[in-house]
Chains A and B, each alone.
Chain A
Amino acid sequence: MSKDVVTNIILRDDEDYIINMGPQHPSTHGVLRLEVCLNGETVKYVVPHIGYIHRGIEKMCEYDTYKQIIHLTDRMDYLSAHMNNEAVSLLVENALGIEVPERVKYIRAALNELNRIASHHLWWSAFGMDLGALTTFFYGLRDREKILDIFDESFGSRLLHSFVTPGGLMHDVHPNFRKNIMEFVKYFRKKLPEYKKLLTDNIIFQNRTKGIGVMTKETAIAFGVTGPSGRGSGFSCDVRKIAPYGIYDQLEFNEVLYTNGDSFDRYMVRMDEMVESMNLLEQIVDKMPEGTEFTAKMKPIVKLPEGEYFQRVETARGELDVFVVSDGKKHPYRMRFRSPNFSNMFTLNILGRGLKIADLVAISGSLDLVIPDIDR
């Protein structure tokens, strides 16, 4: 274990100049409270306080059937709703040994990638805004709108679409689905250079992020930091690669890896992932079988056999793990989610210590935290 990991100790002092960033603060994107101790402008330590949006989703799952659980998973990481849905669906399918139709797998992968791009859009927008570049917010949301329109057409909802169910999909996607994806990819390939011009290449932005909040690979592994934040430190943790699910083993894509581990590399991982996702979308649209089947044959009441089940998926923020203990009834005996944001957030003290307040905002932006996912 490297040195910086073991020194994650917080020494409080009565003389500390403490400011509470949050629960209502523009840069925490939700109800996260950071207890920040300052020495002038310099951060001495950061203590994250969570639990302001705890809804007890894990407990609620114990009273719901497996099909009903889906709508709760939407509300954990609301920006990667599809991936969360798919985690539970895959778990149930694998537990029961159900083989979903090929077409469903392709549609699910397409939805994942669309959702990933939409999530990164919002992150890019908000990250720019954290650093004071307010225009990025509107450019990001403008492009995200196109994806939300695709979602709207197929599922009737834009953010929380409980669309993937155990056994397949809720209903078939809209006939225009394929065409819309191609249009979006074409549109967004044209808009992406704008992002680069406006923010990535900007000298102020690079000075604000390069070398700031360096997370070593050891820290990333020790804290279980996954997703783009972990891959920015050179930690190869893409579940789509290391434990492929769905159709991902038949698609060609690169795992984006950067090695410096600073805020800028975490930023670049996400920017490159958007390109990778678009490549994936093109492959999926090409290979997607025709047809109308959207679900496998399932019993109306799903009962998992007695035992323990585990499923991991890659959400837009990292690895989401679902663990279920079943006692053979239609409700799970215990349901446990390992959410990526929880692990990612607790590196804040390691990364932000000794830097300025403004850097702390840049770091928490580059970690891309979604607070409801931390508290569940």
Chain B
Amino acid sequence: MILEIYSFSSLTEAIDTALNNSMAPWLATLTELVIIGIVFLSFYALLGLFLVYLERKVCAVMQNRIGPNRVGKWGLLQTIADLIKLLMKELIPIKNADQFLFNLAPYIVIAASFMAMAALPFAKGLQAIDLNVGLFYIMAVSSLGVVGILIAGWSSNSKYSLVGAMRSGAQIISYELSVGLSLLSIVIFTGSLQLSDIVASQADGWWIFKGHIPAFFAFVIYLVAGTAEINRGPFDLAEAESELTAGFHTEYSGIKFAFFFLAEYINMFIVAAVAATVFFGGWMPLHIGNWQGFNAVMDYIPSIIWFFGKTFFIIYLIMWFKWTFPRLRIDQLLTLEWKYLLPLNLINTVIIAFIVLMGWYF
């Protein structure tokens, strides 16, 4: 590599040294934690609002509409106005609802998505925590959200909510398998669960290209299963607007509803970011083998743009699905997983293991 990609670790290390020089080590650590927390919190809110705006614009163009265009230039402030509206709305108390669980559920959902964000490598050196089981951690934490959905459906004391929550439970338990297996196929290539390792292993080409057809296959399965895991159309059975009015969050109002809403979009971001990291090289620019000149040109684009570019491309794919397909029925959803995705995925994993064993990849 001719040009060194700018690493954010120089910046973070500088902050770390400055803090350690000026205060006690425990205080410095605490301050760093607070800074990281604030940065993530604001990033989370802004990202959620932007994704909602993006979704509305994308679907508007697909549907021959204009989309939000009243508040701000091109309606950019529309989601902020919506958020203010939701903040001011009354939190309607539900009769005979389990108040404690009812209030707890949105926080579980939002905390799960928040925790998963911590391990994502946003750019070179820009990662809050680089666990050696990073991929496993993200999968484990992001599937915690379903607990919140189940609690929400159960505690609402509403029949629609309960049906929606039960659907969601069945759905996520099933699709977790496919998500895990398709990610596993790349882990077989890299031999590591650490996200920084996975990204580093793609310095001479992304896995979706290096891994031949099986890797592409794993990506498609991951995309389908990931869409199902975040309860988005065409797998939005937990909400199923035309069947269950709003599914598990029928009874929620105001900011509690906004939490569910926001968490859904952040989950979409996480699914897309994991796909970008594992299959498309994360922040790694597009490198092709030994083409030094080409690789150097690609390195000029900052790594953070590569990461977000790939992530938003996958987010766009997920939105495209939602605005094209009708919704599946619950039994068809499970059929798709257990009869199609899972067997194919298992075969695919075996093929990949064989490829790795024989060394038939770049």
Direct contact of A and B (CB under 8 A): yes
Q: A-side interface residues toward B, CB under 8 Å?
A: 17-19, 25-27, 38, 41, 128-135, 137-139, 142, 198-199, 202, 204-205, 207-208, 356-359, 361
- Once bound together, how far apart are the Cα atoms of A356 and B63, in whole Å? 29
Q: What is the count of residue pairs linking A and B with beta-carbon distances less than 8 angstroms?
A: 88
In the bound complex, do residue B63 and residue A135 qualify as a contact, i.e. CB atoms below 8 Å apart? Answer: yes
* Chain B contacts for A41, CB-based, 8 A: 163, 167, 330-331
- Once bound together, how far apart are the Cα atoms of A137 and B245, in whole Å? 18
Q: B-side interface residues toward A, CB under 8 Å?
A: 59, 62-65, 159-160, 163, 167, 233-234, 236-237, 240-245, 322-332
Nearest CB in chain A: distance from B253 CB, A: 16
- Once bound together, how far apart are the Cα atoms of A138 and B324, in whole Å? 12
* Chain B contacts for A25, CB-based, 8 A: 245
Residue of B nearest to A207 (CB): B332
Known contacts A26-B245, A129-B242, A361-B243; A204/B326 CB under 8 A: yes
Contacts A41-B163, A131-B327 aside, 10 further interface pairs with beta carbons under 8 A come to A41-B167, A131-B326, A132-B326, A133-B324, A198-B324, A199-B326, A208-B329, A356-B329, A357-B243, A359-B329
- Once bound together, how far apart are the Cα atoms of A124 and B233, in whole Å? 19
* Chain B contacts for A205, CB-based, 8 A: 326
8 Å CB contact of A358 from B59, B160, B240, B323: B240
In the bound complex, do residue B323 and residue A361 qualify as a contact, i.e. CB atoms below 8 Å apart? Answer: no
- Once bound together, how far apart are the Cα atoms of A25 and B163, in whole Å? 16
Residue of A nearest to B332 (CB): A207
For the complex, would chain A's binding face be called helix, strand, loop or mixed by DSSP majority?
A: helix
8 Å CB contact of A357 from B62, B163, B241, B328: B163
* Chain B contacts for A204, CB-based, 8 A: 234, 325-328, 332
* Chain A contacts for B236, CB-based, 8 A: 132
Residue of B nearest to A365 (CB): B242
Nearest CB in chain A: distance from B281 CB, A: 32
In the bound complex, do residue A202 and residue B326 qualify as a contact, i.e. CB atoms below 8 Å apart? Answer: yes
- Once bound together, how far apart are the Cα atoms of A198 and B325, in whole Å? 8
Residue of B nearest to A138 (CB): B63
8 Å CB contact of B63 from A18, A38, A139, A358: A139
In the bound complex, do residue A130 and residue B324 qualify as a contact, i.e. CB atoms below 8 Å apart? Answer: no
In the bound complex, do residue A128 and residue B329 qualify as a contact, i.e. CB atoms below 8 Å apart? Answer: no
Nearest CB in chain B: distance from A109 CB, A: 31
Residue of A nearest to B241 (CB): A26
For this complex, 30 residue pairs linking A to B, each with C-beta atoms less than 8 Å apart, are A17-B159, A26-B242, A27-B243, A41-B163, A41-B330, A41-B331, A128-B326, A131-B242, A132-B233, A132-B240, A132-B326, A134-B63, A135-B62, A135-B63, A135-B323, A139-B64, A198-B324, A199-B326, A204-B327, A204-B328, A207-B329, A208-B326, A208-B328, A356-B329, A356-B331, A357-B243, A357-B244, A358-B237, A358-B327, A361-B243
Residue of A nearest to B323 (CB): A135
Residue of A nearest to B65 (CB): A138
Known contacts A38-B163, A202-B325, A204-B325; A130/B242 CB under 8 A: yes
- Once bound together, how far apart are the Cα atoms of A331 and B237, in whole Å? 53
In the bound complex, do residue A27 and residue B242 qualify as a contact, i.e. CB atoms below 8 Å apart? Answer: yes
In the bound complex, do residue B64 and residue A19 qualify as a contact, i.e. CB atoms below 8 Å apart? Answer: no
- Once bound together, how far apart are the Cα atoms of A102 and B240, in whole Å? 51
Residue of B nearest to A41 (CB): B330
